[in-house]
A and B are shown apart, each in its own frame.
Chain A
């Protein structure tokens, strides 16, 4: 693949292929993860938030291993060096078991946080796209005024930190007040709505850039040919340039999706309890920082790798012979 934009995608995509049988193993793990996550969400909505697996069992395992190891270490006979060696492994098993016990206990909370992470990501990219398409078309095909307006928007948003943007709309403009009406009951809290607005505004600018460069890589002869059979400019862009350009933009989208999954964590600072914030809450209660951050890392890794695999699948699905595999496109 070409261009820096697509690098994240290709490397991550290759993560699945790196190991010889890695791809199928990866897919199986991914499928299990999502199956569990979806079932977990459904049970939580249905009012059941207890762990699916017995925490006490793994805790028991952990203490069992640890006690055994301590006993082994106390042996002073001829076998002492061997037992000491084995004890080392038993301590390791004990650690693993207590990590699993910890994970089992707090997975429901993290799953709840992951729900909001997914919601913010999907909403951000979808609403962002709705704005990004006209923005990028204005940027490429617009007149002086629309082109400059689009350029200013895109550059201002891309030139400032997302965190500052979230603070401006949440604390500065107090945007939550507009969402009071749509945040009761099962609906998300007002902060979630504001975060969605923030990610939409932000993502629109980045997506517009990806789509712009994709549109520019569609040969100009395509629009000329569309005009030559009598299509208007707008129709030519809509039926000929966009269908090709949007395919070229898929690697950019993969990046954008990965970006949103990760940066949705910043919603934590405007009080949204998404994945990172729910992890922070757990850390605050348990002080088990290492465990919780390991879990968070695994969660994000799973989300990001699934997004990458999914986009690869989308790219294959909409692939057209001879399109999007051209070299030298940037």
Chain B
């Protein structure tokens, strides 16, 4: 699994591009320079005082955090707290008004958005498989039209990804012929195929029937163990406990608390965190 981060020609290309990008962007803020200076420990993702509003409504009020390679950050927070918005700022599916986001030291604002999205994969709550394409074609579309791969090579690579999520046998099924859990696994394979450096998950299991959640979480856990860097919005606390390197509680567009999962679970600093976690666990026990 880790072979996609190192060794492949693609991986080398990307890091070369990133290095030159960093050199060029010395107009960036001082902290970015500092980050570049300490190249050895440069975070893969740095979010700095991120602010975002829709019209009058401020949704993100200054969010800052770092994410290292191979980290798995789980984000929790009440509905409307800005979790999805934050993820969408990272791959610029939505534009933000204040602060900065750096991917491997390079400001995402300076990047071509298509290149950015090739490097940052996303898995959606409502899955959004391309409804007119088979599972396999869902995965090959990006490889062919974005990466410009040949038909055969794309097919081979896509089959590898489908295999990875356990769906090689369903390659020729259309989305409507797959269960929700299978669809979401194809969604993950589709994102993985682009060899992303970072994967964003926006509540990947919350649209699924309870009995289908497990198979998706299992794939995600495998990814985490394989060293994939992930930013995961989920309320599956079992996953957070086992796979997260860090847990973040977001409320009203601010990070209320962030730390290792055990700490937030067992000894949260804020009452609000405790309260929210308490409610989550009660609900999941009810289910």
Contacts and interface: CB of A to CB of B under 8 A. Distances in A.
Interface string B78-92: 000000000000010
Given A222-B128, A320-B132, A229 B117 contact: yes
A226 B132 CA distance: 13
Contact of A224 (B93, B115, B190): B93
B114 A231 contact: yes
B265 interface: no
A221 B176 contact: no
Interface stretch (B39-47, B141-149, B271-279): B141-149
B178 to A, nearest CB: 9
- Which secondary structure characterizes the binding site on chain A? helix
A225 B131 CA distance: 11
B65 interface: no
Given A231-B146, A232-B114, A235-B145, A226 B175 contact: no
Nearest to A219: B128
B6 to A, nearest CB: 21
A222 B124 contact: no
A227 interface: yes
A221 B126 contact: yes
Contacts of B93: 224, 227-228
B128 A230 contact: no
A243 B132 CA distance: 7
B118 interface: yes
Interface in B221-265: none
B218 interface: no
B130 A231 contact: no
B114 A240 contact: no
B131 A320 contact: yes
Interface residues of B, number: 28
Given A221-B124, A224-B128, A230 B176 contact: no
A216 to B, nearest CB: 15
A230 B114 contact: yes
Contact of A230 (B118, B126, B129, B131): B118
Given A239-B141, A322-B131, A323-B131, A228 B176 contact: no
Given A224-B128, A231-B142, A239-B145, A322 B177 contact: yes
A117 interface: no
Interface in B173-196: 174-177, 190-191, 194
A244 interface: yes
Given A229-B194, A231-B142, A323-B176, A222 B131 contact: yes
Q: Which of B91, B121, B124, B130 has the most CB of A within 10 A?
A: B130
Contacts of A247: 132
Contact of B124 (A224, A230, A239, A244): A224
Interface string B111-123: 0011111100110
B233 to A, nearest CB: 15
Interface string A240-253: 10011001000000
Contacts of B126: 221
A322 B113 CA distance: 32
Contacts of B128: 219, 221-222, 224-225
Contacts of A226: 130, 141
A229 B131 contact: no
Contacts of B121: 228-229
A321 interface: yes
A229 B191 contact: yes
A322 B176 CA distance: 5
A225 B146 CA distance: 13
Contacts of A239: 141, 145
Nearest to A236: B145
B117 A227 contact: yes
Contacts of A222: 128, 130-131
Contacts of B130: 222, 225-226, 240, 244
Contacts of B176: 320-323
Contacts of B117: 227-230
B162 to A, nearest CB: 15
A170 to B, nearest CB: 41
28 contacts: A219-B128, A221-B126, A222-B131, A225-B130, A226-B130, A228-B91, A228-B117, A228-B121, A228-B122, A229-B121, A229-B141, A229-B146, A229-B191, A229-B194, A230-B114, A230-B117, A230-B118, A230-B194, A231-B142, A231-B146, A232-B114, A239-B141, A243-B132, A244-B132, A320-B131, A320-B176, A323-B131, A323-B132
Complex A-B, nearest 5 residue pairs according to Cβ-Cβ distance, in ascending order:
A322-B176, A225-B128, A230-B118, A229-B142, A221-B128
